[in-house]
């Protein structure tokens, strides 16, 4: 299912397109229509299934398309940690870039300037407030938070918040909200205490249960830790040194697809591209050539990661780290289909390391780090501490020597 199928406002679609999204994940397919219809929702979904966009997108759409009171906070998203609050706020900023929706992250540990900004936003009203429970409770107790017109409440990673002892803080916040509102609860697990919380705050909720799939064991997965400038040279190196007959390269944006395809053609590789800017006839023609192996290298956006039945792909390259674990599984799942084996390489830049570590955690395995060829220059280390928010002494893993394991 494509994001164009949800009927989002054009301004929101611009942000979706700029963020590189084309196809919805399973949790998004199920949850977005429910939220758009005004239903309360309880969803069992892990980090990496696309759940953040599943609630952000319909919230943004509702805020920009329905009347709401001025000078009030419209949506409240409660999360367990400041790291998650910042991450969601940044995600929100990207998706809502072409709209007038305002948002702020409210969390502990900031300086005096941060407090002033939080107080100003909460007292004047922000469209979306992403907050940690303790900090939000403190602001509410000071009496200036405008909550009378609030329409939407989201509890994200609810099981983790309860494990951290935030139950009383959450209930204090909820007691200060209007009774008439839409409630959304997301939790990786559904223990008894979450069910009890849901019974207290949700009204006739729709229930969704999404578990992330795992890639086949026969896929050889390796990651290259690189700088942005090393990506194109590394693709050319892999394609010239390895005996791959059918290669599918995924990029997270149409701009990257076009640039990489252009550079590969200049280097005399037989490659073509597929993305949403192409008309349907051109897409079908490119796919026919790729399926028949007349075209050995295809560069694509996630338009090809789901629902396209192409057998015998030797190699999948994630030119950019996918948005989440679900996208990663669907991308590399294009190889090793039926009885065939396959290889999947992922290029991980410094700014993508945290995202890739989250994918590894979701998969329950560490993806082998291959060494970039020496002629491409020095590469960054892989900071194994950054995914956990550690500071101070950082731990860097050592990649292993790159092997030619593509021969069949």
More confident call, 24 vs 304:
24
- Kindly state whether residues 362 and 253 are assigned to the same domain: yes
Token reading at 43 = 């969803």
Per residue in 314-333, pLDDT (tens digit) is 899 999 998 877 778 878 87
Token reading at 336 = 């090793």
Is residue 403 included in any domain, yes or no? Answer: no
- Choosing from 209, 239, 264, the residue where a domain stops is 209
- Kindly state whether residues 192 and 337 are assigned to the same domain: no
Is residue 224 included in any domain, yes or no? Answer: yes
Is residue 404 included in any domain, yes or no? Answer: no
Out of 19-28, 66-75, 266-275, give the one with best mean pLDDT: 266-275
Q: Name the least confident of 31-45, 68-82, 146-160, 206-220.
A: 206-220
At 395 the pLDDT is: 43
Kindly indicate the confidence band of residue 393, based on its pLDDT and cuts at 50, 70 and 90. very low
Q: Where are the beta strands (DSSP E) in 169-257?
A: 182-187, 206-209, 219-225, 247-250
- Kindly state whether residues 223 and 323 are assigned to the same domain: yes
98-105 average pLDDT score: 94
- Kindly state whether residues 203 and 226 are assigned to the same domain: no
Q: CATH number, domain at 293?
A: 3.40.50.300
**Between vectors from CA 143 to CA 138 and to CA 149, what angle results, nearest 5°?**
105
82-96 average pLDDT score: 90
At 388 the pLDDT is: 41
Is residue 402 included in any domain, yes or no? Answer: no
- Kindly state whether residues 232 and 340 are assigned to the same domain: yes
Closest CA to 194 of 159, 164, 165: 159
- Choosing from 181, 209, 237, the residue where a domain stops is 209
| % of the chain residues with pLDDT over 90 | 60
At 333 the pLDDT is: 78
At 372 the pLDDT is: 94
CA distances from 65 to 89, 100, 154, 252, 395 (A): 21, 11, 19, 28, 47
User: Which residues on adjacent β-strands are paired with residue 298?
Assistant: 248, 272
Contact between 92 and 75 (Cβ < 8 Å) = no
Per residue in 151-160, pLDDT (tens digit) is 999 999 998 8
Q: Is 171 exposed, middle or buried (0-12, 13-18, 19+ CB in 10 A)?
A: middle
At 387 the pLDDT is: 42
- Kindly state whether residues 17 and 154 are assigned to the same domain: yes
Q: Name the least confident of 110-124, 150-164, 371-385, 390-404.
A: 390-404
The parent domain of residue 297 ranges over 219-397
Q: DSSP readout, 311-347? A: --B-EEEESS--SSHHHHHHHHTTBS-TT--EEEEEE
Rounding to the nearest 10 degrees, give the CA dihedral for residues 51, 55, 58, 62.
-170
Is residue 56 included in any domain, yes or no? Answer: yes
- Kindly state whether residues 260 and 279 are assigned to the same domain: yes
Q: Name the least confident of 28-32, 250-254, 338-342, 376-380.
A: 338-342
The answer on pLDDT for 32 being more than 90 is: yes
Token reading at 243 = 């005996």
- Residue 373 per-residue DSSP state: P
Whole-number Å distance between alpha carbons of 247 and 404:
16
Is residue 408 included in any domain, yes or no? Answer: no
- Choosing from 150, 175, 209, the residue where a domain stops is 209
- Kindly state whether residues 153 and 230 are assigned to the same domain: no
- Kindly state whether residues 79 and 116 are assigned to the same domain: yes
- For the entire predicted model, the pTM comes to 0.60
Contact between 334 and 305 (Cβ < 8 Å) = yes
- Kindly state whether residues 200 and 228 are assigned to the same domain: no
- Residue 109 per-residue DSSP state: S
Is residue 407 included in any domain, yes or no? Answer: no
Is residue 109 included in any domain, yes or no? Answer: yes
Q: Name the least confident of 26-35, 77-86, 206-215, 256-265.
A: 206-215
Whole-number Å distance between alpha carbons of 378 and 374:
7
- Kindly state whether residues 189 and 241 are assigned to the same domain: no
Kindly indicate the confidence band of residue 311, based on its pLDDT and cuts at 50, 70 and 90. low
Give me the number of domains the chain comprises.
2
- Kindly state whether residues 154 and 20 are assigned to the same domain: yes
At 405 the pLDDT is: 44
200-211 average pLDDT score: 90
């Amino acid at each position: 299912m494509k994001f164009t199928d949800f009927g989002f406002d054009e301004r929101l679609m611009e942000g979706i397109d700029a963020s590189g999204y084309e196809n919805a994940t399973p949790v998004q397919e199920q949850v977005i229509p429910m939220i758009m219809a005004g239903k309360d929702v309880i969803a069992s979904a892990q980090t990496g299934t696309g759940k953040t966009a599943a609630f952000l997108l319909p919230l943004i759409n509702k805020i920009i398309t329905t009347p709401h009171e001025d000078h009030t906070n419209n949506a409240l998203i409660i999360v367990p940690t400041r790291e998650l609050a910042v991450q969601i706020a940044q995600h929100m900023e990207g998706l809502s870039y072409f709209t007038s929706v305002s948002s702020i992250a409210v969390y502990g540990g900031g300086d005096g300037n941060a407090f002033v900004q939080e107080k100003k936003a909460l007292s004047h009203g922000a469209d979306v407030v992403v907050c940690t429970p303790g900090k939000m409770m403190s602001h509410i107790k000071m009496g200036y938070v405008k909550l009378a017109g609030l329409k939407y409440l989201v509890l994200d990673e609810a099981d983790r918040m309860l494990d951290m002892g935030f139950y009383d803080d959450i209930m204090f916040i909820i007691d200060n909200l209007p009774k008439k509102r839409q409630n959304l609860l997301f939790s990786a697990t559904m223990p008894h205490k979450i069910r009890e919380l849901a019974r207290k705050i949700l009204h006739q909720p729709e229930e969704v249960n999404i578990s992330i799939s795992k890639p086949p064991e026969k896929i050889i997965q390796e990651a290259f830790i690189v700088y942005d400038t090393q990506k194109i040279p590394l693709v050319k190196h892999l394609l010239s040194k390895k005996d791959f007959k059918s290669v599918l390269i995924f990029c997270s944006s149409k701009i990257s697809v076009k640039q990489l395809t252009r550079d590969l053609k200049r280097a005399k590789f037989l490659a073509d591209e597929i993305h949403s800017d192409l008309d349907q006839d051109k897409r079908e023609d490119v796919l026919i050539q790729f399926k028949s192996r007349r075209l050995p290298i295809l560069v694509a956006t996630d338009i090809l990661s789901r629902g396209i039945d192409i057998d015998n792909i030797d190699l999948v390259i994630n030119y950019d780290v996918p948005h989440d674990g679900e996208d990663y599984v669907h991308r590399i799942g294009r190889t090793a289909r039926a009885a065939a084996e396959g290889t999947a390489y992922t290029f991980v830049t410094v700014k993508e390391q945290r995202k890739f570590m989250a994918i590894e955690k979701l998969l329950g395995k560490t993806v082998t780090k291959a060494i970039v060829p020496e002629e491409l220059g020095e590469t960054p280390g892989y900071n194994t501490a950054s995914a956990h928010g550690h500071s101070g002494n950082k731990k860097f893993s050592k990649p292993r020597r790159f092997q030619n394991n593509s021969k069949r």
